[in-house]
Amino acid sequence: MSERLPGVSTRAVHSGVAVDQRMVTRAKTLPIYETSVFVYDSLEQVDDFLAGNPDNYMYTRLGNPNTSALEELIRDLEGGAAALFSASGMASVSAALLGRLSAGDHLIASRELYGTTQSLIERELSRFGISATLVDINDLTAVQAAITPSTRLIYTETASNPLVRISDIPALARLAKAHDLKLLVDNTFLSPALYQPLADGADLVLHSTTKYLNGHSDATGGILVGDAEWVAQARRFQINAGGSASPFEAWLTFRGAKTLALRMRAHSSNALVLAEALQAHPRVAKVYYPGLASHPDHALAQRLFRKGYSGMLSFTLKGGLEDVDRLIRELQYTAFAPSLAGVASSITHPGKTSHRALSAETLSSLDIHDGTIRVSVGIEDAEDIVEDFIQALNRL
Ligand code: PLP
């Protein structure tokens, strides 16, 4: 074989399978180790486990062959030193922040972070003496101005929700390094098939694997990949706090991740076709998709993402809530479901779901209106997706 690193599709299919070195059945892929505990023959084996032998397990909260296999697979795809799988994306966020930060520390976070992440920072971390400044992450001067002597890290999402604003990860990484800060990037909306923030200088990458990495809307999980010291701190926190995932969720996600590159190609090409069709419709006021030349971060997205712009887009109707409600009822294939990144297309209404807690002024300052709808474009045939939206819009 050549020295060249195999491609994302090849690694997604083959990485992690070798985790079960003791496999006796010759199963072609990794079976589910649905056990909470493992048996030891001797004290020596306990010593071996505690010395960190990766082929030795003790108790599933501490580790399990299925979670190890998934960690190895996503570690490989993101190109990091270590990985930690957790029971949900929020368990990963908690492990990343609470495993690393202490009372008196400060972090700078994008004001467009996922709502529950913001809530964790503002309502929970603050009770333990960890403070935060939320900024417009696309304004590097504002990010720099928020740095204090207590600042430890900068936290952003590759693409924001719902307007898919793109963070300039290379620039944020340079700023972080210059001030001896760490950069944490939630890459859920892109996935490593389209973008790898660690290669652009991020220290730790986070995913809600509930979304694209699993891709089938049937498993909940989260993963951290990157800096070995930070992942070890997160792992210690997770073992103590109890956010470990079940072997079955790890197995489902491992299975889902094998088709990641294929799915991301289909999500991305379908989203571009739908974005263009929506943009041309008289009932639509504005479309937000980084693959469109009209998006404010199109040039940045072109520079960072080489194989597509993912399947997430938003659009604002000329009408308000009544039209949104009508559209929900008229869509045939496309479910109204407040999650994203599954194989089936779905829509959600940020104002009534993820961003419900925000005041009308804040929503309007973020350019989120009554008529704003977020679409998670699935992998159905593009013409069927477009037809579904156009027939529904034509009925408004
Ligand atoms: N990060 C992003 C960008 C998300 O969209 C979500 C959930 O929607 C999360 C983190 C949290 O993930 P989970 O719901 O798996 O806890």
- The CATH number covering residue 334 comes to 3.90.1150.10
Q: Is 253 in the pocket of ligand 1 (CB under 6 A)?
A: no
d(CA 291, CA 371): 21
**Secondary structure of the chain as H, E, C letters:** CCCCCCCHHHHHHHCCHHHCCCCCCCCCCCCCCCCCECCCCCHHHHHHHHCCCCCCCCECCCCCHHHHHHHHHHHHHHCCCEEEEECCHHHHHHHHHHCCCCCCCEEEEECCCCHHHHHHHHHHHHHHCCEEEEECCCCHHHHHHCCCCCEEEEEEECECCCCCCECCHHHHHHHHHHCCCEEEEECCCCCCCCCCHHHHCCCEEEEECCCCCCCCCCCCCEEEEECHHHHHHHHHHHHHHCCCCCHHHHHHHHHHHCCHHHHHHHHHHHHHHHHHHHHCCCCEEEEECCCCCCCCCHHHHHHHCCCCCCCEEEEEECCCHHHHHHHHHHCCCCEECCCCCCCCCEEECCCCCCCCCCCHHHHHHCCCCCCEEEEECCCCCHHHHHHHHHHHHHCC
Residue with tokens 């059945």: 25
Tell whether ligand 1 has an atom less than 6 A from the beta carbon of residue 138. no
Q: Which of 242, 257, 272 is the last residue in one of the domains?
A: 257
> How many A from CA of 94 to the centre of ligand 1?
12
Q: Average pLDDT in the 373-390 region?
A: 98
Q: Are residues 253 and 336 both part of a single domain?
A: no
Query: pTM for this structure?
Result: 0.96
Confidence of residue 20 (pLDDT cuts 50, 70, 90): low
Mean pLDDT, residues 341-370? 91
Measure the CA angle with vertex 222, ends 342 and 131; round to 5°. Answer: 120
Ligand 1 pocket, mutate which of 110, 114, 184, 346 (most atoms under 8 A from CB): 114
Domain end, chosen from 257, 275, 292, is at 257
How many Cβ atoms from other residues are within 10 Å of residue 314's Cβ? 23
- Same domain? For 190 and 324 the reply is no
Task: Tell me the pLDDT tens digit for each residue of 188-241.
Answer: 999 999 999 999 999 999 999 999 999 999 999 999 999 999 999 999 999 999
* Dist CA 268 CA 314 (whole Å): 14
User: Over 80: is that where the pLDDT of 73 sits?
Assistant: yes
Domain extent at residue 50: 8-257
The CATH number that applies at residue 162 is 3.40.640.10
CA of 117 to the centre of ligand 1 (A): 8
368 domain residue, yes or no: yes
Q: What percent of the chain has pLDDT over 90?
A: 84
Domain identity same for 175 and 221: yes
Q: How far is the CA of 314 from the centre of ligand 1 (A)?
A: 17
Mean of the pLDDT values across residues 309-328?
98
Q: Is residue 37 domain-resident? A: yes
**What share of the chain in percent tops pLDDT 70?**
98
Q: Ligand 1 centroid to 189 CA: how many Å?
A: 10
Ligand 1 proximity of 342 Cβ (cutoff 6 Å) = no
Torsion over CA: 207, 213, 215, 220 (sign): negative
Residues 174 and 194 grouped into a single domain: yes
Give domain status of residue 2, yes or no.
no
Q: Give residue-wise pLDDT tens across range 80-128.
A: 999 999 999 999 999 999 999 999 999 999 999 998 999 999 999 999 9
Indicate if 211 belongs to the active site: yes
Q: Which amino acid is at 87?
A: A
Of the residues 208, 224, 257, which one is the last residue of a structural domain?
257
In a domain, 372, yes or no: yes
Count the domains in the chain.
Answer: 2
Does 96 lie in the same domain as 70? yes
Same domain, 274 and 196: no
Residue 105 falls in the annotated catalytic set: no
Q: Say whether both 97 and 27 belong to one domain.
A: yes
Out of 61, 111, 286, 352, the active site residue is: 61
The reply to whether 186 belongs to the active site is yes
Query: How many angstroms is it from 93 CA to the middle of ligand 1?
Result: 9
Q: Is the CB of 89 under 6 A from ligand 1?
A: yes
User: 296: CA distance to ligand 1 center in Å?
Assistant: 24
φ, ψ of residue 359 to 5 degrees: the values are -70, 160
Residue 136, in any domain of the structure: yes
Residue with the nearest Cα to atom 14 of ligand 1?
89
> 155 and 221 in one domain?
yes
Contact present, 344 and 229 (Cβ < 8 Å): no
- Among 110, 158, 187, 208, which residue has the most ligand 1 atoms within 8 Å of its CB, making it the best to mutate? 208
CA distances from 364 to 294, 327, 351 (A): 20, 22, 10
CB 53 within 8 A of CB 62: no
- Any ligand 1 atom below 6 A from CB of 222: yes
Exposure b/e, 41-51, CB count within 10 A at least 16 = b = eeeeeeeebee
Same domain, 245 and 269: no
Q: Is the CB of 188 under 6 A from ligand 1?
A: yes
| Separation CA 344–CA 240 (nearest Å) | 37
Amino acid at 267: H
| Catalytic member of 100, 182, 211, 374 | 211
Statement to judge: residues 247 and 334 lie in one domain: no
CB distance 220 to ligand 1 below 6 Å = yes
Nearest-CA residue for atom 7 of ligand 1: 208
Q: What is the mean pLDDT of the chain?
A: 95
pLDDT at 23: 57
- How far apart are the C-alpha atoms of 351 and 354, rounded to whole Å? 7
End-to-end CA distance of the chain: 58
Tell me, using a 6 A CB cutoff, whether residue 254 lines ligand 1. Answer: no
Q: Which pLDDT score is estimated for 28?
A: 82
- Assess whether the C-beta atom of 156 lies below 6 angstroms from ligand 1: no
What is the mean predicted confidence (pLDDT) over 315-319? Answer: 98
Tokens found for residue 172: 């944020």
> Does residue 1 lie in a domain region?
no
- Kindly state whether residue 3 falls inside one of the protein's structural domains: no
Q: Stretch 310-325: mean pLDDT, rounded?
A: 98
Q: Quote the pLDDT of residue 312.
A: 98
22-47 pLDDT, tens digit per residue, is 556 778 888 999 999 999 889 998 89
**Cβ neighbour number for residue 147 with a 10 Å cutoff:** 17
Let me know whether 68 and 136 are in one domain.
yes
The yes-or-no verdict on residue 64 having pLDDT over 60 is yes
How far is the centre of ligand 1, averaged over its atoms, from the C-alpha of 212 (Å)?
11
**Catalytic annotation present for 195:** no
User: Is residue 209 located within the same domain as residue 77?
Assistant: yes
Domain assignment of residue 364, yes or no: yes
Q: What is the pLDDT of residue 1?
A: 55
Query: Does ligand 1 have an atom closer than 6 angstroms to the CB of 195?
Result: no
